[in-house]
């Protein structure tokens, strides 16, 4: 037999306070943003992407931000503040450098073909390596500077991956 809960003394007062309240109409509600679609890479209908990225000159420290010449710093500020919704994401965890480079190139080509402008690339922090910084973190950010379709990138905020991810602004595919 179910146990009846005691009625709180303020319950009736609460019901009286809500008397006459009308719920919002569905048209006045904001629908939640759709989850970013996952990257569809290795599309069999497309030819493979030419691997034109170099590891040379990556250095020992990862870039925290990048801005192409001619792009306003305000764009980078908006990207850093999360004012652009993430339209797609790519996770490079557990990949070696060669696999990650090829997957990144395919992902960027696919994103520009679908006219996506704001993506997130998750590379991990790499704290388990000697020296503290991950090689994939350094190289991924270096590769992004070499891609013509990348206009800007910045380190993701803590709630989106922090130092283990970058938010990327891409050129329009049109």
- Domain membership of residue 19 (yes or no) is no
Mean pLDDT across the chain, nearest whole number? 81
- Which backbone phi and psi does 141 adopt, to 5 degrees? -70, -35
The DSSP code for 67 is E
- Domain membership of residue 59 (yes or no) is no
In tens, the pLDDT along 129-161 reads 555 567 889 999 999 999 899 999 999 988 888
Q: Which tokens belong to 75? A: 């764009």
- Domain membership of residue 130 (yes or no) is yes
51 neighbors 98 (Cβ within 8 angstroms): no
- Domain membership of residue 167 (yes or no) is yes
Q: Please count the structural domains in the chain.
A: 1
Q: CA–CA separation, 154 vs 82, rounded Å?
A: 10
Within the chain, residue ranges assigned H as helices are: 11-17, 73-80, 97-113, 135-146
Domain that holds residue 99: 66-174
* pLDDT, position 14: 87
Report residue 70's pLDDT band, with 50, 70 and 90 as the boundaries. very high
Q: Residue 57: count other Cβ atoms within 10 Å of its Cβ.
A: 8
């Amino acid at each position: 037999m179910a146990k009846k809960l005691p009625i709180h003394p303020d319950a009736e007062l609460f019901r009286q306070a809500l008397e006459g309240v009308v719920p919002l109409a569905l048209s006045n509600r904001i629908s939640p943003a759709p989850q970013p679609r996952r990257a569809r890479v290795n599309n069999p209908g497309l030819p493979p992407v030419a691997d034109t990225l170099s590891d040379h000159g990556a250095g020992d420290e990862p870039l925290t931000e990048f801005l192409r010449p001619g792009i306003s710093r305000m764009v980078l500020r908006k990207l850093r503040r999360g004012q652009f919704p993430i339209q797609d994401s790519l996770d490079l965890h557990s990949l070696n450098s060669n696999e990650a480079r090829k997957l990144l190139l395919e992902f960027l080509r696919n994103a520009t073909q679908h006219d996506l402008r704001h993506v997130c690339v998750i590379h991990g922090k790499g704290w388990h390596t000697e020296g503290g910084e991950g090689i994939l973190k350094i190289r991924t950010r270096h590769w992004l500077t070499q891609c013509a379709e990348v206009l800007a990138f910045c380190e993701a905020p803590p709630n989106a991956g922090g130092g283990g991810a970058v938010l990327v602004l891409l050129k329009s595919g049109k």
